[in-house]
Chain A
Amino acid sequence: MTEAATLTEAVPTPGHVTDAVFYDFDMFFDPAYLADPHKRVQDLLDNAPPVFWTPRNGGHWMLVSHSANFEAARDTETFSSEVIPHAQIEAILAQLPADSPPIPRAYPINLDPPLHGKYRQPVQGVFSPKAINKLKESIRKLAGELLDEIAGEGVCEFMSTVAQPLPVQVFLKLLGLPVEKFQTYSALVKAHLSAASGDSGAALARLQDVANAMRDTILARRDDPRDDLISLLWSVEIDGQPTTQQDIENYGVLMFIAGLDTVMQGIGHGVRHLALNPELQDELRADPALIGDATEELLRRYTFTVPPRRLNKDIVFEGVQMKKDDRAMLFLPGADLDPREFPDSARFELNRGGKPHIAFNAGPHRCLGSHLARVELNILYEELLARLPRFRLDPDRPVKFSGGHIIGVQELHLLWDN
């Protein structure tokens, strides 16, 4: 017996939501979505309204079409990233006793312009493509070491052996955290991934654990800077003010929640596609110069993040009446599989005429780590294809997926013949 997923309770439909834009879809527990997520995304594109309201998870809008996502992502005045308004959070924090443990805030992912830019600017350079290119060789070494450990086995569960450890190791290296913290952060990633949605107290405690695990290094680098991100963060200013310990912990927490399971899932979806398509593996092994294009098309074909927004005002958006404080999901997997934007969208095509996807979102919240993610994915595919012969999915152990704000690959069992 497989576990039956229980849908979240449906809430009453607000008066401004018409029948024409109502569609019942649970982005956390929809059974068809959990069985084969991107197939269900295609089904939504074919059968659901391009912008619809679902009564699940407290009730929220789903922006499914490419145009809805592209427009909403760039209209930050209407579609706020402050799911809880910044002023409201500040007011709550101001009420806490002065000796309370610090509350990590993942700025600026949850801030709107102009404050968003003030927190983003200091870290832009570190994540610029030129800066990230300098990390390539060390990432290649890490990927190679992980793959060497499984190459002789002929069988592996890829998520736990490669897809998860690689971004954790890159994170440690980038921030300058000691390698001994690997197990700590692996465990924190696992807890973060397996957490049920909705328990905000437990979520906060986990983020505090993330911050606690880097505090020693943060303090050590203040007095003794090295060539790493934490040292650099001590030397920058936010809106003209020197960074504080809390600022640096906030950035560390942001990079943890935005940069670890995302890269891991990108690897999972991409390697699953390769395992399903041995002839594509052959093509890429024969001409590794094509792997860059393959990385982009895999990101488009299996876009997997669903950033939340809050309506900042009443608006008629794409013909649909929305009200202030409604919640809306940028369903980017829908945008990149929209056949109106990408003809024959389910087809994997190595070069779609150079047409760009929005797997890293559009607008000012474009994924800060996108250049690092691309490098990690690209190198992982290169090293994997160079080290392993044709690999395939284990027919006896099917791929397991998870839903929510990130479409996750939980288990990916591979086989190959050495």
Chain B
Amino acid sequence: MKIRIDKAGCVGNARCWAVSESLFPLDDDGYILVEEIDVPPGMEAQARRGARACPERVIEIIEDDA
């Protein structure tokens, strides 16, 4: 599973970071630091919750092909 983030659309709500600080790292201004994240095994549920928590809807989950 991957997370893809429209970084330019981040406005610093940091709600993803509130779900998982390790999955969704922030820069010093409190905005998302990365555009693409490989989700470590076992972190899938947190990835989905983090994506859902974004008020700007800029976080997309890319499921692995079956």
CB of B40, distance to nearest CB on chain A (Å): 20
**Of B18, B19, B30, B56, which is within 8 A of A362 by CB?**
B56
Question: Complex formed: what's the CA distance from A127 to B12 in Å?
Answer: 10
Q: How large is the interface on B (under 10, 10 to 19, 20 to 34, 35 or more residues)?
A: 10 to 19
Q: Are A121 and B53 in contact (CB under 8 A)?
A: no
Q: Are A362 and B17 in contact (CB under 8 A)?
A: no
Question: Complex formed: what's the CA distance from A110 to B54 in Å?
Answer: 25
Q: Are B55 and A362 in contact (CB under 8 A)?
A: yes
A362 contacts which chain B residues (CB < 8 A)? 11, 55-56
Q: Are A366 and B13 in contact (CB under 8 A)?
A: yes
**B31-66 near A? 1/0 per residue, CB < 8 Å:** 100000000000000000100111110000000000
Question: Complex formed: what's the CA distance from A355 to B17 in Å?
Answer: 15
Contact A353:B55 (CB < 8 A) given known A128-B30, A129-B30: no
Question: Complex formed: what's the CA distance from A320 to B52 in Å?
Answer: 30
Most-contacted residue by chain B among A357, A358, A366 (CB, 10 A): A366
Q: Are A356 and B15 in contact (CB under 8 A)?
A: yes
Q: Are B26 and A129 in contact (CB under 8 A)?
A: yes
B54 contacts which chain A residues (CB < 8 A)? 356
B17 contacts which chain A residues (CB < 8 A)? 129
**Of B11, B30, B49, B55, which is within 8 A of A130 by CB?**
B30
**Of A125, A356, A360, A364, which is within 8 A of B30 by CB?**
A125
The answer to whether the Cβ of A124 comes within 8 Å of any Cβ in the partner chain is yes
Q: Are B52 and A125 in contact (CB under 8 A)?
A: no
Q: Are A130 and B15 in contact (CB under 8 A)?
A: no
Q: Are B29 and A354 in contact (CB under 8 A)?
A: no
**Of A74, A355, A360, A364, which is within 8 A of B52 by CB?**
A355
Most-contacted residue by chain B among A125, A131, A355, A370 (CB, 10 A): A370
CB of A156, distance to nearest CB on chain B (Å): 32
**B16-30 near A? 1/0 per residue, CB < 8 Å:** 011100000010111
Q: Are B26 and A130 in contact (CB under 8 A)?
A: yes
Q: Which of A106-136 contact B (CB under 8 A)?
A: 121, 124-125, 127-131
The answer to whether the Cβ of B5 comes within 8 Å of any Cβ in the partner chain is no
The answer to whether the Cβ of B3 comes within 8 Å of any Cβ in the partner chain is no
Q: Are B13 and A370 in contact (CB under 8 A)?
A: yes
A178 contacts which chain B residues (CB < 8 A)? none
The answer to whether the Cβ of A173 comes within 8 Å of any Cβ in the partner chain is no
Q: Chain A binding site: helix, strand, loop or mixed by DSSP?
A: loop
Contact A364:B11 (CB < 8 A) given known A354-B49, A355-B52, A357-B55: yes
Q: Are A354 and B13 in contact (CB under 8 A)?
A: no
CB of A72, distance to nearest CB on chain B (Å): 14
A364 contacts which chain B residues (CB < 8 A)? 11
Q: Are B29 and A358 in contact (CB under 8 A)?
A: no
Q: Are A354 and B52 in contact (CB under 8 A)?
A: yes
Question: Complex formed: what's the CA distance from A11 to B19 in Å?
Answer: 48
CB of B54, distance to nearest CB on chain A (Å): 7
**Of A127, A128, A130, A356, which is within 8 A of B53 by CB?**
A356
Q: Are B55 and A121 in contact (CB under 8 A)?
A: no
CB of B1, distance to nearest CB on chain A (Å): 17
Question: Complex formed: what's the CA distance from A131 to B56 in Å?
Answer: 22
Question: Complex formed: what's the CA distance from A293 to B29 in Å?
Answer: 24
A124 contacts which chain B residues (CB < 8 A)? 12, 29-31
Contact A128:B28 (CB < 8 A) given known A354-B49, A371-B14: yes
A121 contacts which chain B residues (CB < 8 A)? 29
Contact A129:B14 (CB < 8 A) given known A124-B29, A124-B30: yes
Question: Complex formed: what's the CA distance from A358 to B54 in Å?
Answer: 10
A371 contacts which chain B residues (CB < 8 A)? 14, 30
CB of A238, distance to nearest CB on chain B (Å): 15
Question: Complex formed: what's the CA distance from A131 to B49 in Å?
Answer: 24
CB of A111, distance to nearest CB on chain B (Å): 15
Question: Complex formed: what's the CA distance from A125 to B29 in Å?
Answer: 4
A242 contacts which chain B residues (CB < 8 A)? none
Q: Are B13 and A356 in contact (CB under 8 A)?
A: yes
The answer to whether the Cβ of A363 comes within 8 Å of any Cβ in the partner chain is yes
A363 contacts which chain B residues (CB < 8 A)? 11, 56
The 9 A-B pairs at the shortest CB distance, nearest first, are namely A128-B30, A124-B29, A356-B55, A366-B11, A354-B52, A129-B14, A125-B28, A354-B53, A354-B49
Q: Which residues of B approach A to under 8 Å, CB–CB?
A: 11-15, 17-19, 26, 28-31, 49, 52-56
7 CB < 8 A contacts A-B: A121-B29, A130-B30, A354-B19, A354-B49, A354-B53, A362-B55, A363-B56
